Chain A
């Protein structure tokens, strides 16, 4: 492909759709909702061009179910929604976490609660992404702050989903989803793709939920000679319900968590800007990270030693990274377009350190400006 084809003016949602195709996504099921709808509209046109399937389901519950069904059938599958629709998908996101089905869910956040500010940006679903389902299970949540990052993290989301056999949530927001930016897309040959791990034993010896040393059980789509049963109840390594067996229940829960916890180095993605000599740190993600970056630049221009830690992975939370920088700075400022969801995690990460953690929140449908963050930086310096 010529460089020209790769330099594009593109919306975040468009980057997500294009990245999904590049990542090998061949199935989308969804239900329209602002500000996520463009992802469905683009894939309705693009998927059949590559032999894939698009379906607009009757609601979000059916969409999430169809995505899991398609993944069981061996396809990389995606759905995209916003807050209220994300809530409706939660029961089946839990199903995918429990049964270890790879799939990607995009939540382009908008202002809430409920239908709140339907077309305005917010970051109010951070905790819903982590704890929206019932019961305890790990989850991977990635949050882009630019159009190019939306592209890259969408590919990463599919790769993590396939590798770790888990639902992965791409937590975008109305700013990043609707923003148009010039992007240089990667050459398709540079994009590393991960495919789910197939069993190495013949069908008769396949134990569908027995994990390998890496904590992840091999997965084979239906109809390939490996018959198995799958259930949302607590199950044994053979996949059959074991709801009266406390030891099996405990082991399953531990295994679900371990397969993520064992791989934190690979899963937790952060960027650092001007952190080497920073005396004050801005911790930000998504749209707020854009303002955070600009604020750090403004501060440096005025001789203030500020730095940015940008989380691209929100869950599992980058606690080690926060702690490492928290040992060196006076204060950490956490701008969020909500009443303070991730700030508690930052506090937890530095709870034994003599560092001040300062929330900076906005929940009126407007972005936090670089000037607001700069003003907060000056307060602590």
Chain B
């Protein structure tokens, strides 16, 4: 296992800059092992990130890697994928990056069904800027900009992208790392827009302020509150209160954008387009 991970790291970019106990490294590990299993080459794989702690995932991995602007990774990735449909494009984003500043791009990329995989690291907080609330911060939790507790309700980001038209939607956690690796693998092989929310811990920005003393405690919280969709089917509603679902939440096959556009090109060549 470990060797597969190291095969894809840039040794001279280590050590990484994340805080002790951060979930981001575990997600990078799951991502590169999933890619390794699929046998994708380093040259055909592109990882695009925005800005944030999770965006620092890509400098350390030996693919074609691009750190772009805050919230705009999906715009860059869309342009790149449209320009070069043969490339495998993965976007790693944070909850603020993907669902806050980049929320508009998230829903529209899902709607277009561009063949991209987006991994949204949900650590409930703006980590890199030091613990401000995000659109996924649970109501009542504390953040530097919510000193009296978060007033706003949080998005269910999986239902958001499903509603917007994403054709593959899954949720995993950093604690359930084997399941996460499988979910990412399934997302990568899906043709169309695939989305994986990863519930992760930010001990520094979120935990300290919300009475979760250690990273281990935060991961135990993930263990105790995650219920797989399969298990949930057999549970009565009262047992599901306060829990969240993991696994593949939505999956459909519908026409993918770059393939549709190839038909436009074929048609325009014949008809000369309609002006």
Residue positions of A touching B, CB distance < 8 A: 26-27, 29, 41-42, 44-46, 48-49, 51, 53, 55, 57-59, 61-75, 77, 91-92, 95, 221-225, 227-233, 240-241
Report the separation of the CA atoms of residues A113 and B32 in the bound assembly, to the nearest whole angstrom: 49
Interface contact B68-A65, CB-CB below 8 Å: yes
Q: Are B78 and A62 in contact (CB under 8 A)?
A: yes
Measured CA separation A63–B80 after assembly (Å):
12
Does A61 contact B268, Cβ atoms closer than 8 Å? Answer: no
A48 & B269 in contact (Cβ 8 Å cutoff) = yes
Q: A229 contacts B83, CB within 8 Å?
A: no
Task: Tell me if B's interface is mostly helix, strand, loop or mixed.
Answer: mixed
Segment of B69-77, B191-199, B232-240 in the binding face: B69-77
Query: In the assembled complex, which residues on chain A have CB atoms less than 8 Å from the CB atom of B51?
Result: 232
The answer for the CA separation of A228 and B275 in the assembled complex, in Å, is 41
Chain A, residue nearest B83 (CB): A73
CA distance A227 to B66 in the complex (A): 11
Per-residue CB proximity of B75-94 to A under 8 Å, as 1/0? 11111111110110000000
B84 touches A223 (CB 8 A): yes
Q: Which residues of B contact A233 (CB under 8 A)?
A: 67
Query: Which residues of the other chain, A, contact B273 by a CB distance below 8 angstroms?
Result: 44-46, 48-49
- B108 CB-CB contact with A under 8 Å: yes
| Bound Cα distance from A376 to B267, whole angstroms | 57
* In the bound complex, CA of A72 to CA of B13 (Å): 23
Contacts of A44 in B (CB 8 A): 273
Q: Which residue of B lies closest to A57 (CB)?
A: B75
B: number of interface residues (CB 8 Å): 46
Residue in A29, A61, A222 whose beta carbon sits within 8 Å of that of B84 in the complex? A222
Distance (whole angstroms) from the CB of B17 to the closest CB of chain A: 9
Selected contact of B75 from candidates A48, A62, A77, CB within 8 Å:
A62
- Whether A222 contacts B87 by the Cβ 8 Å rule is yes
Besides the contacts A57-B108, A229-B59, what 18 more A-B pairs have beta carbons closer than 8 Å? A45-B268, A48-B261, A48-B267, A48-B268, A48-B273, A51-B269, A55-B82, A58-B104, A62-B75, A64-B75, A65-B68, A65-B74, A65-B75, A69-B80, A73-B84, A92-B72, A232-B51, A232-B68
Can you spell out 15 A-B residue pairs with CB atoms less than 8 angstroms apart?
A27-B79, A41-B275, A45-B274, A58-B108, A61-B72, A65-B78, A66-B78, A71-B83, A72-B79, A74-B84, A95-B68, A223-B86, A227-B42, A227-B63, A232-B67
Interface: B64 (CB within 8 A): yes
> A72, B76: Cβ atoms under 8 Å?
yes
Given contacts A62-B75, A62-B108, A64-B75, are A70 and B82 in contact (CB under 8 A)? yes
| Distance A231 CA – B68 CA, assembled complex (angstroms) | 6
List chain B residues, Cβ under 8 A from A71. Answer: 79, 83
Complexed CA–CA distance, A349 and B51 (Å): 41
Report the nearest A residue to B77, measured CB to CB: A69
Across the A-B interface, give the 3 residue pairs with the lowest CB-CB distance, nearest first: A65-B75, A69-B79, A66-B79
Q: Which residues of A contact B59 (CB under 8 A)?
A: 229, 231, 240-241
Contacts A62-B105, A69-B78, A70-B83: A48 and B264 contacting too (C-beta < 8 A)? yes
Contact A53 B261 (CB under 8 A): yes
Cβ-neighbour of A51 out of B86, B265, B275 (below 8 A):
B265
Most buried by A among B42, B73, B80, B265: B80
Residue of A58, A69, A231 near B76 (CB, 8 A) is: A69
Min C-beta distance of A164 to chain B, whole Å: 21
Per a CB cutoff under 8 Å, which of A57, A72, A225 touches B66? A72
Chain B nearest CB: distance from A124 CB in Å? 26
- Within the complex, the shortest CB–CB distance from B270 to chain A, in Å, comes to 10
Residues of B close to A92: CB separation below 8 A: 69, 72, 75
A227 contacts across to B, CB distance below 8 A: 42-43, 62-64
Task: Scan B133-159; emit 1 where CB is below 8 A from any A CB, else 0.
Answer: 000000000000000000000000000
Neighbour of B46 across the interface among A46, A68, A223, CB < 8 A: A223
For residue A95, which residues in chain B have a CB less than 8 angstroms away from its CB? 68-69
In the bound complex, residues from chain B placing their C-beta under 8 Å from that of A67 are 79
User: From B271, which residue of chain A is reached at the shortest CB distance?
Assistant: A49
- Bound together, the chains give a CA A62 to CA B46 distance in angstroms of 19
In angstroms, Cα B42 to Cα A91, docked, is 30
Q: Whole-angstrom distance from the CB of B236 to the nearest CB of chain A?
A: 41
Residues in B whose Cβ lies below 8 Å from that of A230 = 65-67
Which interface residue of A45, A74, A75, A230 has the most chain B CB atoms within 10 A? A230
User: A59 to B274, alpha carbons, bound, how many Å?
Assistant: 24
Complex Cα gap A223–B65 (Å): 11
Q: Which residues of B contact A221 (CB under 8 A)?
A: 84
In the bound complex, what is the Cα–Cα distance between A230 and B273 (angstroms)?
Answer: 37
Interface residue B167 (Cβ < 8 Å from any Cβ of A): no
The docked-state distance in angstroms from the alpha carbon of A163 to that of B57 is 32
